Every structure is written in C-alpha cells, then in structure tokens.
Structure 1
Amino acid sequence: MEVFGLNLTLQRLEAPAPVWRARVTAADWVPAAMVVREAGGRLLALWGGVQAATVCVAYVLADGLLWLELPLPSGQSSYPDLAPVFPAASRMQRAAADLSGIFAEGAQDQRPWLNHGAWPTGYFPLRHTTEASQTFPDALLLDYAFVRVEGDGVHEIAVGPVHAGVIEPGHFRFSVVGEKVLRLEQRLGYTHKGIEQRMTQLPPLQAARLAGRVSGDSTVAYAWAYCMALEAAASCDLAPRAVWLRALMLERERVANHLGDLGALGNDAAFAFGLAQFSRLREDWLRLAKEAFGHRLMMDCVVPGGVAADLALTHITQLSQQCDAIEREVQTLRSIYEDHAGLQDRFMSTGRVSPALAAQLGLTGLAGRASGQAHDLRCDHPGAPYDSLQVKLASQRNGDVAARVAVRFDEVFESLRLIRQMLAELPAGPVRQALCLPEQASRGAGWVEGWRGEVLVVLELDEAANQHRIRRCHFHDPSWQNWPVLEHAIMGNIVPDFPLINKSFNLSYAGQDL
C-alpha cells in the first residue's frame, strides 16, 4: 500500500481508535517522519524493543495512529536521528538508548537520561539476554554535562533534585542575570522504577495493577489505556456499561486534578484563599469517589474486561448532585480569580508559549490547548462513549499561565456536563467479562485522553508457551513532550515566577521516568 509515498504493508489493529502498524526500512525512517510533519501529523511516542533490536515510533495523523517499527540488522545498534524533524524525539531516544542499548546515530544530545551512573557497564534493562558486567561506569555518567551559559553577570542556580515540599525529585539548573532567567535545563530520571522491565515479568491480567501505578494522579487513564491494549490484543469487545463507567471515572479524575491545580496556582501567586477553597472542593470530590468506587483515586477500578464493580443507584444520584454543587462553587471561584487584579497580574503574560513554538516543539494536552494546539482525542478520534457525547474542546491561544488556568476552568465545566450526561444515560448490562487471551502472539494499543493529555500504551504478547507472555509494554505520558517546552516557557521570566509556571504545566516525573 502506498503511504506517504512509501510502499508500506499496513496492519489495522483492533482498537476503539483507528491504529495501523507497519514495518519500515532505515532509508524510509526519516522521510516518513518528514512527510508526517508536512501533513500536519505529530510525534506521539518513540521506544526501543527487546532482544531483537528494534525501534518504534507512533505518529498521530488526521485518520488515526500510525505505529512504525524499524528492525535493526543483527549486530547493529543505531538508527537515524528523528530529533531534527521532531525535537520531542530527543529525550525519548536517550531513554531508548539507556533501556534498550540502541542509539540515534548522529544525535546532537546523547547524554544518558535514565542511567544516573548506578548501572553496571553494558547493562540495558530491556535486553534480557545481555550479561551485565559488575564494573560500573566511569565518572562521566556521574558528572552530567549541563549546558553552560557564560557572560557578564551570568550565574547558575541549582534547584533539586530534593525539594522542600513532598514532591517528586527533579533537578533544575537555571542560568540567570539578576533574577531574569536566560536558560533552564532539567535533569530528570530520578523516579525510574524499571516498570517496563517489570511488565515483562508479570502475567498480562495481573500487570493491569502495575499499569495503574505508572503515574498515580492518572491511574484511571493508564489503567484504561493498558486494558484497552490488552483487550485489543485479545479481540475482546466490552459491554457498553463498562465502557461508560470507565469514561465516567476518567472525567472524575480530570476534575479532581484540575481542582487541585487551580488551588495550587492561586497559592503560588500568594492567594491562599484559592488554595483553601479548591482543596475543600477536591477533598469532597475524592471522598465521594471513595464511597462510590471504593478508592479515592479510583485505583484498581478499571480492570481487564471492564470495571471492578458497578455503581449503586444511590451513588448515581449523589454523583450527579455533587456535579451541580461543585459547578456552582467553581463558577463563583472563577469570577473571583478573574476579578482579582493581583492574581491576574501574576498570571497574564507569564510563562508564555506561542502557538508557533508549541507546534514546533510538540506541546500537547491541556498545555498545548492553551497555546492554540486544538488536539483532544475525545474530539478528534472519539471512541465510545465520547462518540455520542459531543465533547466541547477547551482552547486558548495566548499560551501563558492565565491561558492554562482558563483551559482548566473550561475543562472542569465540560467534564461536569459529561459526567451528568453519562450518569443520566448509563446503559444497562454487565460491567465485566472474562478475558480470553489468544494462543498466538498478538499486539494491541491503548490511546486515552488523560487529564494532562494523550496517554499511550503499546503491548506485544508472546505466544501462549511463554510463561508470562508480555514481550514488550511501553507507556507514554504527555509529559515527554511538555517537559522540554517548560524550559522555553521560563526564558525571559524571573526566578520567583518559576513555581507558578511549573505548576501551570504540572507535569509528571514518574510518568516519563518509568
């Protein structure tokens, strides 16, 4: 089949969203990326394989998701660099090098990303057949080469990786003149837990619990994406009520995180009243989730074949009534935020990412929508039940903290509307069915619009003779695209504005460190 001017044999994967897979040659690897970019497509994820060396990439196109796989010849561990075409590929390539031992040939940045110097020489976690030497890397791995900015009055401020609050570790190296930030460079990877290696050691049905713990604030999104990939590999169609309950939980997860962030953003601008009020609303929201679903964050509620438990009729009424109450209070709080001159002075024009820069760097999710990137999987490729709910896209173009706050408010109101509609139209029927895995090797993909943006899970199952069966499972968080953009958002701003800008993105450390 002729695709992008290339002769590709496409395989349509079973999934709620359209997903195609094809193999390419090294000669077609970069040309395919360039044609995707020229067609308005986006890079979603890049990852390495196991055992037999491969590198894979997922592109978002107008028609769906394209999963390309490049097998590397025996003894070869390099492939063409995609960073000049899609800058967001750089860190993904560095992670693939650390995990799979495959390298982007000619890449400008080949510093280790996940390997902080504690791994034995020659150790690549996803290469099961690799014998790791007991000698450790030289000091170059431990002495990370940050980019230096020099000039009159330029100095560095090092922050982290250990922070004052109870937050995940990350190191931020600021180059500043006075308080003006000239450059920010991040070093992450401190929360690498070996999740993708561990997935290959678990039976597929049990691995769903680990998938829901990739990033705790997105447990529903990750669990759904993993189960979607597993169910696609097993050619399993879910009962409608199970799918609607998953979407209901996903929207409640979105509201919970937006409420928390709106309060924290007020607090970072010295408006403690906002933190107090939104924290109260979020606590009420989580308490009812515990009562209705059995867990405040709805962890382990999405399971292979459906959901763990049905909703009681009394809880359906309570959830709907809570949406009405929360909506009234958030409308009042939005008016207070918008009318507060001091708050708006801190929000407006701070941490701006222009639509052009956002498109160039691949900014995605709610941060992307605040910078004119009108992408939302619930609107672009809606699966059930979103195909019948007519989701309204929340979008801004100014790309500053104020715009990201506005998108959060709009998404809260839209999610409340969706939740009420789902509760009113919830189909009858079972909520879970047994999942029968195929005897032969199979593949699946799960693609979900989490509260930060698109969550992708790609899954490869071995044939049934393999004890554990998961050959490869790759998780992708939208933070991969957005962390590098944060480095640009702070440029030209003052150091005290960094916590505010950082919180307006609120990216996941754990989601991209894996």
Structure 2
Amino acid sequence: MSDANWTTDFLSRLVAADIAVAQTPLPSATLWQIDAHHWRQFAELAIQQNIRWAAGWAEHDQDRFLINACFEKHGVYLLLRTTVSAAKPALPSQATVYPAANRSERHTRDMFGIDFSGHPDNRPWTRHKAWSKQSHPLRKDFPVQGEPQTMTSPDLDYQFVKAYGAGVYEIPVGPVHAGIIEPGHFRFQADGELILNLEERLGYVHKGIEKIAEGRTPESLARLAGRISGDTTVGHSWAACMAMERAAGVEIPPRAALIREILAERERIANHLGDVGAICNDVAFVFAQMQFTRLRELWLRTNAGVFGHRLLMDRVVPGGVACDVTHEAGQSMLKDIARLRKELSDIVTALDLNTSLEDRLYTAGYLSAEIAEAFGTVGYVGRASGQSFDVRRDAPYPPYDQATFKVPLETEGDIAARVWIRLKEINAALKLIEQFIGRLPIGGDLIAAWRTPAVGSEGLGIVEGWRGEIVAYIRFDGDNQIARFYPRDPSILNWPVFEKLTLNNIVPDFPVCNKSLNGSYSGNDL
C-alpha cells in the first residue's frame, strides 16, 4: 500500500467497526474526531495496522476537554480528537494497547483531572506534592502562579514496585545525583550485581511550560520553546515555529530554511560528540572522553563566532531565522568540517581497537527491536534497535525535502550500537551541512512577514531533533496569542525503554546504560 492511501484503507476499517469519523484537513496532518467511547477501540484497530502512537495531550475548552492523540505511519500523521464533559471527564485508556501512551495519559490525568478508565497504572506521574489532589494546573481556572505552599511535603508515598527473595536488595539512585545532571530518581532491585528490576520517577523540576505558554505572542512562545531542553533549543524552537507558521499560513523563505537546517545539524553534531565522550568516560576510557570534549568545544566556539550563541539559542524565530550565514562564515564552517572529519577518523580508530571498551559496551544495555517498536522508540535509541524512522526522510520538510542523505541503522540494540549510530549520524550531518552551505543563494530574505492567525487556528510542527522526532502542537486565541502549546520531546517516548534495557545488566553498568540513552529530564519535566 502506498504512503498516501493507508488512511483511506484504515478509515474503511473504522466504518466497518461502526466508528463514525468527522474529518478536517490540517496543513500537516488530517484531523479525525470520534466519540469518546470509541477511544480505546480506535487504538486496538490502529495497532493491528502497525500505526505508531506518537503523542497525546489535552486542552481545556470552557465546559469540556479536548483530548488528542497523534499517530503516524509511513511518514503520514493523523491527529485523533475526542471531547469529554468537564463535569465528569473520563474516557477509555489507550495505554492498554500502546505502552507509549502510559505516561502521557498519567500526565493528562494529573494536569486536567481526566480519568482514563482501565489504565494499567493509577499512580500519579507529573504530580508530586506541589498541588493538592483537587488541583489541576492546566485547567483554565488554575492561576498561572500556582498555589505555592510555605514548604512542599516530601513525596514519600509513591508506590515503587517491590521485589522479594533471598539476597534481593534495593538501590535508590537520585533524584539528586553526584554530578550536575538534572533530578531523576531510579529505584532498582538487584541480586548480587544482577539488576532484576528498574523503575523511574521523573518530574521533580516541573517548569509549567504548558501553562506559562498561554497568552504569549509567537515571538515569546518561540523563546520559551527554545528553553524546554537547553541541549535541543534549535529542535524545539523549529518545531514550535513550524506549528505556528502552519497555523498562520506563513511560508518561510528558502534561505531561512537552509539556515535552520545548518543550525539543527550543528546541534546534532555537538550533542553526539559530547555523548560519545561521556559514554567512554563512564567505562573509564578517559582519553576518548577528553578528545570528544575538545572537539565539541571547538565546534561550540564556531557556533558562537558564526551565529552569536554557543548553543544556538533564539536563532530560530517565527517566520524564519534571526541570523545569516555569510560566504566567509560558510567557508569557515567547511574548514571546520574537514578538520573534524580528520580528527574523528583517528579517534574512532582508537575506539575500535580498544578491547576493554568493547568488553563494557558490546551486549550491554540490550534493547530488542520488538520492545523498541512496542514503545514507539525514536531517534538514535530506536535506530540502534532496527527502527529506521527519521522525520527528515520519511515526512520531509524544507529543506530536507530536497536533500540526499542516508539514515544510519543498527540492529544489535546494545550500548555499542548506540555509540556507532551517533558516530554515523555525525558523518551524515556533516554531509548535510556541506550540501546546504553549497545551496545557499546569494542574498534572499531571512524572515517572512507574519500573518495574524484566525481564532482557533491550529498547527502541528514535527521535526527530527538530535534525539529524534519532536512534536509541537499550537492553537491560537484572539489577538495573535497562544491558547495551547504542547511540546513532545523524544525523551518522553525513550525514557520508558530505559527500564527495559537495564534489566539483567550488572549494577556497575547502570550509569553507562543511562548515558547511552541520555534522555532529557528537562524535556520530560514540562
């Protein structure tokens, strides 16, 4: 079946199952609206057709709630929506069908008070002790400043899974860590050095991104999106701006699209360099960590020199970009690419010949293709376990729709595979930057004129960030203001598989398993 017509075939299956669908075209997807009592049944039919669950969120609209779920197949996106009464909000859970929907529904329940009947896990997710059980921070009547207490009670009664037996003991890690990473708690049980079970608890630094987005202008929203996860400022800004531009009917200039690509690929390279070095450091190969850190630092200095910011923050703006690439800057970046390639070649040879590194990385942290697919794993984590999906290739957007590049793929699913995927993605990104520097026109606009969207205009922005697929949803209110913003970081899909790939590893491999996934705490803790 072709990419374009799977939705037509699926719609006929829904009609055969007596599920009525109201269709509305969107700039980047098709919106299907169904009755709430068909919510789980839709998921059951969708998974039979190998349709991937990609994101879920809700919205408070006067006396009702809008519940949304985003699905994807062959690069075609489908936005599913239903409504429930605010007086008694409830609908069937899709998490019994799609494990990826589990934490999303728990977040929606905590933030809106919507009950997902039949949900496999009734514990709170985003809610720690900052709000009472009767408070729901994303309802419109909840104050943006919250209801701060003099002191927040410790979250001591979260019911972690227990393991029993002779010799079984429990290890709590975090939420405060020995390094400077963000807060996250990991509770695991072990027998000797063998890990029997691992469970995550996140959300300790909930920022209120979704709440404080309400009422912002497009420019202010783009700045906020760039701060969802500091290492993905380009990816989140691009997704948010794309969603706003699609809602407003704004097409960015070709030069701006090329510069956005250069920014995004430079962000990808910087983070992969840092990750490979950190993975090596976690298994005591400090030489490699020092070299990759040095290369990353040189790369970031070029960012600062050419674009005015080491992490490229606030370079992507609604309608285009806030920076240019001169001919001289382009030539400077091409020289940097040649130098990085040469140095990487020597360092990667050293990695490949280091038998002690192989002993720690190969077969450790194994994630099977079946589990990766079941949880909708994306980005380098998914591609190391045989999941080839890449938004740039499979749902291309300018300028990737005019690019030639190969998406790397590994099937071994271990830490070593996640290292090699990163290294291959660096090489692919270098080639993309070279292509697009060569295509930069002489002159050309950097930003398009903005059009104030009509009240209720909505859009989806979907890009391939360095960790994987980023989804951003925008709805506009009156006066060019944001009514609803939901960003879905790749980490929201990838964090759950960390509980799977750590099983049957030894306790000393826990840190390197974690680093090989490198989920964003901040991208999860909206």
Normalised by the size of structure 2, how large is the TM-score? Answer: 0.93
* Map of 1:430 onto structure 2: 445
Please state if 1:382 is matched with 2:396.
yes
Report the residue type matching 2:501 in the other structure: A
Please state if 1:371 is matched with 2:385.
yes
Contact 1:246 1:302 in 2 (8 A): yes
Please state if 1:27 is matched with 2:42.
no
Contact 2:22 2:34 in 1 (8 A): no
Report the residue type matching 1:445 in the other structure: L
- Deviation per residue, 1:220-267 (Å, 9 max, x gap): 000000000010010001110001100110000000000000111111
- Deviation per residue, 1:375-405 (Å, 9 max, x gap): 1111111111111212201110110001001
Query: How far did residue 63 of structure 1 move?
Result: 4.9
Matches of 1:98 and 1:433, distance apart in 2 = 39
> What secondary structure sits across from 1:185 in the alignment?
strand
* Map of 1:462 onto structure 2: 477
Matches of 2:455 and 2:153, distance apart in 1 = 46
* Map of 1:478 onto structure 2: 490
Matches of 1:75 and 1:339, distance apart in 2 = 64
* Map of 2:21 onto structure 1: 8
Q: 1:358 to 1:121 in 2, by over 3 A?
A: closer
Count of aligned pairs between the two proteins: 508
> What secondary structure sits across from 1:10 in the alignment?
strand
Query: How far did residue 483 of structure 1 move?
Result: 0.9
Contact 2:75 2:394 in 1 (8 A): no
Please state if 1:444 is matched with 2:456.
no
* Map of 1:229 onto structure 2: 243
Matches of 1:391 and 1:99, distance apart in 2 = 41
Matches of 2:271 and 2:162, distance apart in 1 = 36
Query: How far did residue 69 of structure 1 move?
Result: 1.0
* Map of 1:40 onto structure 2: 50
Report the residue type matching 1:329 in the other structure: E
Contact 2:453 2:476 in 1 (8 A): no
> What secondary structure sits across from 1:49 in the alignment?
strand
* Map of 1:99 onto structure 2: 111
Considering only aligned residues, what root-mean-square deviation do their CA atoms show, in Å?
1.9
* Map of 1:506 onto structure 2: 518
Normalised by the size of structure 1, how large is the TM-score? Answer: 0.95
* Map of 1:108 onto structure 2: 120
Report the residue type matching 1:462 in the other structure: D
* Map of 1:182 onto structure 2: 196
Q: 1:63 to 1:101 in 2, by over 3 A?
A: same
Report the residue type matching 2:54 in the other structure: L
Equivalence map 1:165-204=2 (5 Å): 165-204=179-218
Query: How far did residue 212 of structure 1 move?
Result: 0.5
Please state if 1:245 is matched with 2:256.
no
Matches of 1:260 and 1:473, distance apart in 2 = 30
* Map of 1:329 onto structure 2: 343
Q: 1:186 to 1:74 in 2, by over 3 A?
A: closer
Matches of 1:40 and 1:323, distance apart in 2 = 39
Contact 2:250 2:448 in 1 (8 A): no
* Map of 1:56 onto structure 2: 68
Matches of 1:70 and 1:441, distance apart in 2 = 16
> What secondary structure sits across from 1:50 in the alignment?
strand
Matches of 2:141 and 2:96, distance apart in 1 = 32
Contact 1:120 1:135 in 2 (8 A): no
Equivalence map 1:206-285=2 (5 Å): 206-285=220-299
Consecutive unaligned residues of structure 1, counting only runs of 5 or more, are none
> What secondary structure sits across from 1:79 in the alignment?
strand
> What secondary structure sits across from 1:186 in the alignment?
strand
Query: How far did residue 205 of structure 1 move?
Result: 2.5
Query: How far did residue 11 of structure 1 move?
Result: 2.1
